[in-house]
């Protein structure tokens, strides 16, 4: 069970991820969580920095998609102005939305990265399908009820992982 929630890579933020290195690993597509991964859960629109960053990823040849457990209104209002495809109410960590995202991007699991801020939704869901999982620190501490519960469980897991030396180093593959 523990292996299922250990990400392949840790990053302080999406901006710290080395996408050139991911390309060298054969990653061609990236699934992103929305809230507290790309922007704060209270921010309705992308920041100019995020818009430029996403443009750069797409210019590098990455196919990108947002997969969020949030509702249609929240996700579509954010993603549509960016021209980024999305799946709302994904029910992560269940596999259906990840499989649909890969189908729509034309990618296989070994070519796809899942980038998110939660172990029990983003990392677990991605690992179950063999995606390259990247855990980023949440961009905000403002979170919904269920996320706060997940964070408490995550703290216990991180404590256990630290004691076992599983958080040392950058890359887990």
Contacts of 33 (CB under 8 A, 6+ apart): 66, 67, 68, 92, 115, 116, 117, 118, 121, 122
CATH number for 31: 3.40.50.1000
User: CA dist 70 to 66, 77, 82, Å?
Assistant: 11, 12, 17
User: CA dist 8 to 53, 59, 120, 154, Å?
Assistant: 22, 25, 14, 16
- H helices within the chain, ranges in order? 19-24, 48-59, 72-79, 96-105, 124-128, 145-163
pLDDT of residue 16: 96
CB atoms inside a 10 Å sphere around CB 145:
7
Q: Is residue 136 part of a domain?
A: yes
pLDDT of residue 86: 98
pLDDT of residue 169: 45
pLDDT of residue 117: 93
Q: Is residue 155 part of a domain?
A: no
Q: Is residue 149 part of a domain?
A: no
Give the range of the structural domain holding residue 70, as residue numbers without chain letter: 2-141
Please give the tally of structural domains in the chain.
1
Q: Is residue 153 part of a domain?
A: no
Q: Is residue 166 part of a domain?
A: no
pLDDT of residue 158: 64
Q: Is residue 86 part of a domain?
A: yes
State pTM to two decimals.
0.85
pLDDT profile of the chain (173 residues), mean per 10:
81 96 98 96 95 97 97 97 98 97 98 94 96 91 65 66 60 46
């Amino acid at each position: 069970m523990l292996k299922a929630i250990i990400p392949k890579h840790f990053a302080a933020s999406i901006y710290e991820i080395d996408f050139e290195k991911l390309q060298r690993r054969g990653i061609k597509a990236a699934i992103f969580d929305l809230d507290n991964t790309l922007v704060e859960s209270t921010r309705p629109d992308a920041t100019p920095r995020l818009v430029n960053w996403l443009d750069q990823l797409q210019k590098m040849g990455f196919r990108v998609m947002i997969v969020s457990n949030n509702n249609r209104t929240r996700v579509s209002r954010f993603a549509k102005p960016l021209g980024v495809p999305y799946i709302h109410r994904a029910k992560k960590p269940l596999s259906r939305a990840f499989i649909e995202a890969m189908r729509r991007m034309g990618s296989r699991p070994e070519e796809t990265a899942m980038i998110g801020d939660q172990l029990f939704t983003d990392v677990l869901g991605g690992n179950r399908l063999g995606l390259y999982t990247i855990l980023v620190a949440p961009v905000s501490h403002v979170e919904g009820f269920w996320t706060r519960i997940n964070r408490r469980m995550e703290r216990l897991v991180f404590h256990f992982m630290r004691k076992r030396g599983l958080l040392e180093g950058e890359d887990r593959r």
